[in-house]
Each structure stands twice: as structure tokens, then as C-alpha cells.
Amino acid sequence: MKKTITVLTALLTVVASLSGCGKKDDTPQFIDTNTAKKSVYTQTATVQGSTETATEAVTEHISPIETVTARQGTQIDVDKTIQRSEGSNTLKLGLGDFIEEGDRISSFTFIIYSADGNNIGTFKGGCGISVSDRCSSATSEGWYQSDDFTASTQGTYAEIKWEVPENIKDFVSAGGEVLFGYWWGNAESIRIESAVCSYERTRDISVDGTIEHDVGKSADYDSSDNMIAVPLDFLPENSVPQTVTFNISSSGKFGKFTGAFACKEGDSYKQSADVAIFTDDSSLSLTWFLPEKAKNFLNEDGEVMLGYWWGKQKSMSIDSIEVKYSEGSGTSKYQPIEQTAEQKTENPAESAETGSKFRTASQITGEIKAGWNLGNTLECYDYTDWTKDAETAWGNMKTTPEMIEAVKEAGFNAVRIPVTWGEHLDGDTINKEWLDRVQEVVDYAYSEGLFVILNMHHDDYIWFNPTDEEYPEDSRKYKKIWEQISERFRDYGDTLIFEGMNEPRTIDSPAEWSGGTHDEREVINRYAQDFVSTVRSTGGNNSERSLVVTTYSASAETSAINDIEVPDDKNIIVSVHYYAPWKFSEGTETVFGDSQKRELDGKFDELRTKFIDKGIPLIIGEFGCVNSADEKTRSEYYEYYVSSAKKHGIKCFVWDNGVATEKSSYGIFNRANLSWNTSILDGIMRGTE
């Protein structure tokens, strides 16, 4: 049985700090180990309103550096179908789902099946990959396209391997994409089930010693217990494991080993992406470069694990493991982000540097408890065939002050107000009646002291198309709309936040919901800068207002979050939408268990590393699950989601479209009688504690 995977991403190393009037603060802070050679303690004392910082150096052991190189392979599930016909015969995958920066790719293997039942016959296709501008072998700017090639198949099944040319390997980065194309075969369409990237990883790691430990344990891939655990009680006290090499064997050729690394401490469990290695040998060495979080996660009671999902041989044995370790304090445990005293202030304090009474974006996200979306209301579009009332077109009542009061009383302290503007324009000018109504609804929440996010929502269905060709005209219109919104709300305080776009994307494109292409993501980055520059240019409170920008389609896919270019501005919040695990969220699965929790934790780890640890505030602007699972399970889902996100420094806005049953039933608040699904509401609020 295959187990669900979460990708572990590297966190920053914990160092101790001191704060307050000479009192030690046990809350860990994070620094980048690439720039820090020695830990320091920082003590902050406040005297008569001034802050002085003193730094006391602490003598610390510096480990020798060893360069380690190992063969690696990552497999991802794809489950996408492409046609043989031109225009729909290619698929692009983000390289960030396979590798980390600095890895050197050797090949890709695509596992395909006929989608129409016909034998594939001789496969003809091609592959391509993003390369840097320095690559002299590029076939076009930023891209290398292979020659067409053929491959034999096994009826309705095939493993199509592409060897990446040696002369481009050093010009491929984790932020790019790989393309798989199907030009000809007997099947009209094929389904790409999965893809394997084989690569070499080289890292400089801290090593004080190496220990080889005999194991002698076996597992069967078809067993419910197909993971082998190895306690690390043989390591020296206070040591930190850096790499673990599993030396494994079987009774015959592995063919293709598929499994995963994991670590465990108590009831907590962390797992890597799928590992896949092609080999004709009966023995294999698999090296796991432990991410920082995995290192900090393990102590003397911890275990490392290897799972066995598939191979030509039913059984696999771990003969021994080799652990490279460094000496450490043993106290650098991963901890949830806690709000500072500054972040917990209820009113904006005047900045000594700028004289501003606006809180920073980080302070604001720190103060958000939980957010609620006024969904399917002011963002309605394409409704004129049956009504003239945009606000009620999709079945919800007109928004009232009492509704927003009920949202506040339920425990939410933030409201996101989605708005579509394209249906209410005269040329580029927003209809005054519509802008007045939007302002009225904003005031309902603003006057209650709630944080309010006001956005541009479904305009991409009406006039906005993020392509290079349409950028000049669409950018002009986009800036004109935001100029008018900004002018109207210019004098509002810092509890009003603008969000440039909802899920900006190319409608109906092949990668619409999978993170987009590199070119599409680049265009969205330009619009993000347009948004920030336009709002700032209107002056007044807009010069310091917190602004929200999104990834392509607000996607949490690795390729999308890797390619976002956050505008260089002190008050920017990044937003992603993360309806996950997707099958549970959209209702085709009704179980929310350990594997689903690991999927959430893995993505939150990745988001924290990419943004929070770098000082960039992040929110999840939309999440939720439809009314498919039983109420107890749904309540547990909302509680775990909000709680885990909070531990990673991320605050969440629940999507509520007012629909309580059947399709797209994300509704949890009955706006007619001002009543809540109390089971789910209680789950959300428990998650914020």
C-alpha cells in the first residue's frame, strides 16, 4: 500500500535569543545557516521608552564541512490526459516538484497509459526544459526543445525516458518546467500517470562523525506495514543527523525501487516526497539529505524510516544505515511562530522611524485570528439574462450590517469582500452606484473594527487576460480601475487592505489550475507591481496601506510559489488559495486522517520556508470543504487546518458561498436567519486557540 506523501522543505536553523529586561526568552528565532557561522544571544532592554540592543558572543563548536554527492530520484503523481492532436498534445510540469536548487538532472521517465484503450504502438514525441539565458544550446530564449524521438511500448503501457543532454544540465534550475509531448501513436490520447526525475545532489554538510549501524529488517510492498523504522539511539548524545544512507537489498533485481523517507518522534511523523530509482541491481544505497526541520525534529528518541511502495521484488531488506552527524546542543526543536508583544497590540502604535500610525503587514497578519469570505455576493458576473441585481444574482441575500455583526460575534476578526468590477464599468470608469454600494458593505465591516480585504475578483472572466499580447491595454485598464478604488478609500485606516487580484490566470489554459507556465507567471508578476505602484501613487493612507498580491491563480503549487516576484515594498502580504486535500475538499473522498494531515503539514512547511521565514507575511485567502463528509469529520478538518496553519505562522480565511448542500456546498453561515453550522464554527475557533 502506498502512503500519502508530504514534501519536507528546509527550515532555518533555530538560535536562542534573550529579550525583555535582562530576562531570557525561550521563543526560538530563525537564522540562515549559510550566513551564520556562530550562534549569538541578543538581549534587548527597554529603558524609559528607548530600546537598546546588546550582542553577547557565545563560543560554539564549528563542525568540519564535508561534500556529499548522491544519486537521487523523485516521483510525482500526474494523472493528466493529453491528446495526439496539435494544440492539446503537451504537458508541462514544474521542476520545483522534483528537485531543489543546485540539483543536476540526468533524466525524466514518464509512465503513460493509453487513455482510449487502443494499443499505443510506436510512441513518437519530444521533451523540452527551461534553461537559463546563459545556455548556448537553448533552442529558443530560455528554453531547450529536444529533437523528436520514438520509443517502443508495451501495448497500452509505456515508460518513456528522456536523457537530458549533458550540455544543458548546468543551466537548469528548480524554478523552471519540463515539457512532455505526444506527436504520434495508435492511441488518440494518453494518460500520464506519473513522472520520475533522476538527478544528482551535491551538498556541503557539517560532519563530525559517521556511524554505520546494522539493521537487518525487511518489509513487503503489499503489506499494510510497509515501512521499516530504525531508532537513532546509537548516535552520540546531542548529535544532529545530517544524512542517512539506507543500504538495502532484495532477492533479485529491483528494476524500479519506489518508496519514501520518513522520520518519527513519539506520535509525530514527517515524510518525504516519493523516491524512485531505476536499477538492475539487487542492492541499492539510498541517501536522504535531511531537511533542517527533519534534523530538528529528531532527538535521542527519534526514528528514521524507509517505505517500500513498489519494485520487481515483493520484499526489501535494510541491511544497514550510515548516518553522518554533527555535534549540536540538542535543543534546536521546531517551534510554532508566536506573536510578539508588538504584533499583539490592539491599536497601531506610532513608528519611531516613520511617524506612521499604520501597522506593518506583519503586525496585521499577526493580529488576524480567523477570516471569513463574503462569497457569491459582490463578485457575481454574467447574470443579466435573469436579473439586474448583481449582488443577489447567485442566490444570496443583500448584505446587511446585521450579517457582519453576526460574523464578528462568531469570533472572526477579518472579512474578505470579493468584488467583480468588469460588469460595472462605463469604458474604464466604475459606475458610481456600484462603487457606493461596495463602500457601504466595506463600511459594515470597517465600522465593526474588523480587518477588511477588498479585491478584484472575477474580472478575468470578463476583460482581463494575462498574456504578453494583451498586457499593454489590460494593464492600462487595470491601473485605471485600481486608481479609482484607491481614491475612494484613500483616507481609511490600516484595517482596510487591498488585494490586487483574486486568482489571476489564463482562463481554460492547460495549466490554469496547476500553477501556470513560466511566461504566464511572469505576466502576473508585472500586474502585481502595477497594482502596488498604482495604489501607492494615490497618496494619503494608501502610501502605507497593506496590500495583498497572489501567485498565478493564487496557486500553492511549488512552481507558482517559486516564481512569484513579491514587489519591493514594506507592506506586502502574499495570498494563496489552498483547498486541500483536494479530493476531500471537493467531496469525492470523505476520510480525513493522518495522511491527509501530513499533506497539509507538508504544504504549510513549504509556504513557511518560502515566505514566513524570509519575513514575508502570508495568508490563505480561501480554503474549505463541501458538505460531503459527516459533520464530525468536517469539524475536525477545519480545526486541524486552521491550527496547523497557525503553527506555521499562516492565518486563514474560510470560503463561504452561502451554499449549504449539494454541489459547491462551502456555506457555513445562514445569512437569512443569522445562524451558523455550529459544529464547523466551533472547529474553526478551536483551531485558532
**How high does pLDDT run on average in the chain?**
85
The C-alpha cell 449549504 sits at: 660
Amino acid at site 137: S
pLDDT one-digit tens code per residue, 514-549? 888 888 999 999 999 999 999 999 999 999 999 999
Residue 601 confidence (pLDDT) above 90:
yes
Confidence of residue 61 (pLDDT cuts 50, 70, 90): low
| Owner of C-alpha cell 470523505 | 590
Contact 646, 336 (CB under 8 A): yes
Grade residue 604 by pLDDT with cuts at 50, 70 and 90: very high
Give a three-class secondary structure readout of 146-215. CCCEEECCECCEEEEEEECCHHHHHHCCCCCEEEEEEEECCCCEEEEEEEEEEEEEEEEEECCEEEEEEE
For range 396-415, the mean pLDDT: 95
| Spatial separation of the C-alpha atoms in residues 36 and 30, rounded to whole Å | 11
Give the residue-averaged pLDDT of 14-30.
30
Q: Which domains does the chain have, with CATH numbers?
A: 13-62 (no CATH), 66-202 (2.60.120), 203-327 (2.60.120), 361-687 (3.20.20.80)
Residue 36 has pLDDT above 90, yes or no: no
pLDDT band at 254 (very low <50, low <70, confident <90, very high): very high
Whether 256 and 310 have beta carbons less than 8 Å apart is answered as yes
Side-chain half-sphere of 534: how many Cα atoms within 13 Å? 22
DSSP for 361-384 reads: HHHHHHH---EEE--SSTT--S-T
What pLDDT was estimated at residue 593?
A: 93
- List residues with catalytic annotation: 503, 622
Q: What sections of 235-389 are H helices per DSSP?
A: 292-297, 361-367
| Cα→Cα distances 260→142, 189, 232, Å | 33, 31, 18
Residues whose CB is less than 8 angstroms from the CB of residue 345 and which lie 6 or more positions away in sequence, other chains included: 359, 363, 367
User: What's at 86, amino acid-wise?
Assistant: E
Per-residue pLDDT, averaged over 609-637, amounts to 95
Amino acid at 93: L
> How confident is the model over 372-390, as a mean pLDDT?
92
**Sequential DSSP letters for 603-659:** HHHHHHHHTGGGT--EEEEEE---TTS-HHHHHHHHHHHHHHHHHTT-EEEE---S-
> Where do the H-state alpha helices sit in 249-360?
292-297
* Helix orientation angle between 471-488 and 432-446, rounded to the nearest 10 degrees: 60
pLDDT (mean) for 596-603: 94
- Section 151-180 average pLDDT: 93
**Residue 335 confidence (pLDDT) above 80:** no
- 3-class DSSP assignment, residue 253: coil
Half-sphere exposure of 254 (CA within 13 A, CB side): 24
3-state secondary structure of 63: coil
Rounded CA gap, 669 and 688, in Å? 18
Share of the chain above pLDDT 90, in %: 70
* pLDDT for residue 26 is more than 50: no
How many Å apart are CA 158 and CA 111, to the nearest integer? 6
Q: 300 falls in which pLDDT band (50, 70, 90)?
A: low
